Amino acid sequence: MSLRTIRLALWGLVIVAAGAIAAQQWVGREKTTETFRPDFALQDGNGQTYTMADFRGKFSLVFFGFTNCPDVCPTTMSEVAQVMDDLGEKADRVQPLFISIDPERDRRQGLTEYVAAFHPAILGLAGNDAATKDAADSFKVHFAREKDSSAPNGYTMSHSPGLFLIGPDGEWLRQFTYETPAAEIRAEIEERI
């Protein structure tokens, strides 16, 4: 076998491999263009039911938490409040939502008052156990009840700490990790408005 034949064979393999890689990347690109539209049917403190469709035309900042949370929830709600304040006149294009993962206890302890203490624009929502699970599943959020003798009623809640940005069309845009600075969240929203 000549050196020329070996080179041609090797170049042929390179071309085939490059084509396979390009095809694989194209398939991956197709997967990322699929829409992800989380949803829920939950009530505010007055018993009015909301779904994501009620917030179409606005950006939504969605967080799952509970009122007895000692750190993650109040930290995130403080960041959301800062974002709303920093947005100024643009804040009316954003609806922040706090979805309770401990609805029975949170209603009893004043979910509406809890979120209002952070910012008047934040809407607290809660449902029954099935509606809460459906909402969390829709956003791919994990939560679980855990025994804790030092917590009120002898339990606490573990949960995914992400803050979700949903677009005006109801499509998931991005998830902010815990302790993402308010300035970064605001900048992301302002860039999209």
Q: What are the extents of the domains in the chain?
A: 1-34, 42-192
pLDDT: is 31 or 78 the higher one? 78
Confidence bin at 148 (pLDDT 50/70/90): very high
Label each residue of 103-165 as H, E or C.
HHHHHHHCHHHHHHHHCCCCEEEECCHHHHHHHHHHHCCCEEEEECCCCHHHEEEEECCCEEE
pLDDT digits (tens, 9 = 90+) for 149-176: 999 899 999 999 999 999 999 999 999 9
Fill in the DSSP letter of residue 169. T
Measured over the CA atoms of residue 174, residue 159, residue 170 and residue 123, the dihedral's sign is: negative
Q: Structurally, what CATH architecture does the domain formed by 42-192 represent?
A: 3-Layer(aba) Sandwich (3.40)
Average pLDDT on 105-132 reads: 97
pLDDT of 26: 41
Q: What is the pLDDT of residues 75-109, one digit of tens each?
A: 999 999 999 999 999 999 999 999 999 999 999 99
